[in-house]
Amino acid sequence: MKSDIYNLNPEEYAELRRLENLGAPFVINYSADGPARLTVWLPQDWKATKAMETPKVMPIRDRYYEYGFVVKNLLKYYPPPASILDVGAADSPLLFVLASLGYNVTAVDQRKCIVNWENLHFVSWDVLKDKSPFDQAFDIVTCISTVEHFGLGRYGDTVEVDGDLRGISILWQELVPKGFMFLSVPYGNPEVFFPAHRIYNRARYRRLITGFSSLETTFFGPIDDPAVFRPCTERETCLNDISGPHYAIVCSVLQKRSRNEDK
């Protein structure tokens, strides 16, 4: 199956997610020259009947740990009610979870989305391109596996080498003084898979979170099994094969510092 990454039809997308959930051995390649292409490769000996089987152990992937980390630490550091700006929300169930916990959630994405849920409303916003649509600051920003895409053009945004750094700086401005950010990004051996995502190491991550104090940091990754995530050490994130479809992540609870504190 091969398709333009910006124009996957629903059947192709569903098949990709099915293979991913089943742990089928496919590889995603992003071409460095010419249009970005998504290639799903299956070895000759991978039988269709095998792919249709339900795995004996369901894979536990990064999103499970990311959402668990957010909910656990949100309740610890800032129980509801509070105002949350959830960034990169178009393809995520997290906004519904947060709203159901009693938080007042404003979900944003440059892709349009229609939601109908108590304590929740959606605003279309291209963080790097458009002026902020908000008059009041938020108590909390959640940015889960989102900022690594900023400025790479994957979702039609303008290409900007340090779009991730500028994007976080913009989100910093959306927070009240001493407000919290819950952040997760890919982590390990640093790389930019254009136009897909960045993988951060310690040096780049420190640049990313300039303007914040780090209160909690936890690493997760497919260290022992490429289909199964677990908590891991920072050193173990570098053992992960970043050429595959899954890579380690870092999850952090951050608190906004004043500009003067960074001088």
Domains of the chain by range and CATH? 2-52 (no CATH), 62-262 (3.40.50.150)
Helices within the chain (DSSP H only): 10-22, 48-52, 62-77, 94-100, 163-173, 202-208, 234-237
pLDDT given at position 14: 61
Of 207, 183, 186, 206, residue with least CA distance to 198: 186
Q: What does pTM read for this prediction?
A: 0.78
Of 155, 221, 138, residue with least CA distance to 184: 221
Amino acid at 95: L
Return all residues near 217 (Cβ < 8 A) that are at least 6 apart: 250, 251, 252, 253
If you write DSSP's letter for every residue of 207-242 in order, what string do you get? HHTTTEEEEEEEEEEEEEETTEEEEE-HHHHTTS-T
pLDDT given at position 251: 98
Burial class of 57 by CB neighbour count within 10 A (0 to 12, 13 to 18, 19+) = exposed
What's the CA gap between 220 and 248, in Å, rounded?
A: 6
pLDDT given at position 112: 83
Amino acid at 45: D
Return all residues near 94 (Cβ < 8 A) that are at least 6 apart: 67, 70, 86, 142, 144
pLDDT given at position 110: 87
pLDDT given at position 47: 44
Please give the angle made by the CA atoms of 60, 10 and 48, to the nearest 5 degrees: 60
Q: Which residue has the tokens 């109908």?
A: 116
Residue 60: C-alpha distances to residues 19, 68, 214, 252 (Å): 14, 12, 26, 20
Tens of pLDDT along the chain (263 residues) come to: 333 444 445 565 566 566 556 554 444 444 444 443 444 444 444 444 444 455 566 677 888 999 999 999 999 999 999 999 999 988 889 999 999 999 999 999 988 888 889 999 999 999 999 999 999 999 999 999 999 999 988 877 788 989 999 999 999 999 999 999 999 999 999 988 888 889 999 999 999 999 999 999 999 999 888 778 999 999 999 987 666 667 899 999 999 998 776 65
Of 253, 143, 235, residue with least CA distance to 189: 235
69: its two tokens: 């980390």
